[in-house]
Amino acid sequence: MRRPLEDVTILAVEQYGAGPWGTVHLADLGARIIKIEDPTSKGDIGRYVPPFQEGEDSLFFETFCHNKESISLQLRSPEGRATFERLVPHADAVFSNLRGDGPAKLKILYDDLKHLNPAIVCASLTGFGMTGPRAAEGGYDYIAQGMAGWMSLTGDPDGPPTKSGLSLVDMSTGYAAALAMMCALWRARRDGEGCDVDVSLFETAFNLDMYVSTWHLSRGWEPIRTRNSSHPSIVPFGNFPTADGWVVIACAKQKFFENLARAIGVEWMLEDERYATMAARLENRDDCTAELEKALSSNTTAHWVKVLAEADVPSGPIYSIAEAAADPQTIARDLIAETEHPVLGTVRQIRSPLRMPGAAEELKPAPKRGEHTRQVLTELAGMDESEINALAEAGAFGDVEV
């Protein structure tokens, strides 16, 4: 079976996290992702992120850039720009993650490229979008988490503003940009006309406030922090201590609470008007939680996970990464891919969750900087050896030998 995106070619002016995270999932589905790396900055900064970094290779870079190709090209030089313009007619999209004013400065917007390819999609992932008073500012995940309200919602009630443990704004915006770009690409193939795609960290993070923002904007509801990462309006729904660890319990339906009460030996709570309904449990959150914690602390996490699964109560242990990797579900679904890297040795990483026939079974190591320059220019732009050699002599590829 053909791979889902094997007929898609994307020129990626990308670096670090959010942008490469979006395109790596497209690469895993067969898209040809050609990283355009600036030789003046020694390429993607992700190559140099510690720990586990050696020379121009790092485990960070492997995570974001496996299954991709790399060409070295100085887009700001006349020769580099001319070379880039030879590639655009043979690509479906130009993708970037720069500051909001970066795509215009680099002349990679639709109006800059449509004369070369009317169907080209120009997708830009930025910190704050390409318009507005913050367009030219640098944006990072931490900043977006702070500005979109995430940090005000995260952590225990008396704690400081707290970010999530992972860069979820970067990752979510990468997914959003990939989705938007592919939708625009679909329309371009249908209608023959491309466009700009404008996706930002801040807007993605703000959008992910979801129902919390709807409650606030529509009814003036003020978000609150809850103890032990509990759900703001459903009780019980959160983390509970056991005799030797923690278990997450999610009673999103009345039947699950009823199953829980019977399974842990507090059936009496079902007859108590303080806990009998979802509304009552919310009103009496602290007392309800205290009763459940008392019962759950009497035995181990493993015990309760087994009991609750048998009782049809959505739940799970709070794992370390090592424990998550060893879980039988992880093993059964073959979630960990293993590749051999010429510098880093064995690299083990989590497969893309986008499962479908034709998705990557084996991962190729991330490319060396500029590794595919000659191949791409020959295959995609139709250049011959003399043209490529002349560009190399003119410095279009910087310090990379092609």
213-256 tens-digit pLDDT: 999 999 999 888 888 889 988 999 999 999 999 999 999 999 99
pLDDT, residue 46, reads: 97
Per-residue pLDDT for 87 more than 90? Answer: yes
Mean pLDDT calculated for residue range 101-125: 98
Bridge partner residues of 53 (DSSP): 58
pLDDT, residue 57, reads: 97
Read off φ and ψ for residue 51, nearest 5 degrees.
-80, -175
Mean pLDDT calculated for residue range 272-283: 96
pLDDT, residue 253, reads: 96
Q: What percent of the chain has pLDDT over 90?
A: 94
Q: Average pLDDT over the chain, rounded to whole?
A: 96
pLDDT, residue 254, reads: 97
152-156 contacts at long range (C-beta below 8 A, 24 or more positions apart): 152/223, 153/212, 153/223, 153/225, 154/225, 155/225, 156/225, 156/227, 156/228
The enclosing H or E element of 12 equals strand 9-13
Environment class of 311 (CB within 10 Å of its CB; exposed 0-12, middle 13-18, buried 19+): middle
Q: pLDDT tens across 163-213, in order?
A: 999 999 999 999 999 999 999 999 999 999 999 999 999 999 999 999 999
Give the pLDDT band (50/70/90) at residue 39. Answer: very high
Mean pLDDT calculated for residue range 8-31: 97
Catalytic residues: 170
Q: Specify the higher pLDDT residue, 224 or 116.
A: 116
pLDDT, residue 1, reads: 81
Structural domains of the chain sorted by starting position, each given as residue range(s) with its CATH number in brackets: 9-207+334-394 (3.40.50.10540), 228-241+246-317 (3.30.1540.10)
Q: pLDDT tens across 392-401, in order?
A: 999 999 999 9
Q: How far apart are CA 8 and CA 181, in angstroms?
A: 11
Mean pLDDT calculated for residue range 261-284: 97
Lowest mean pLDDT among 246-250, 323-327, 359-363: 359-363
Mean pLDDT calculated for residue range 361-372: 94
Per-residue pLDDT for 360 more than 90? Answer: no
Give the pLDDT band (50/70/90) at residue 361. Answer: confident
Mean pLDDT calculated for residue range 300-308: 97
Q: Are strands 57-58 and 69-72 parallel, antiparallel or unpaired?
A: unpaired
Give the pLDDT band (50/70/90) at residue 353. Answer: very high
pLDDT, residue 66, reads: 97
DSSP 267: G
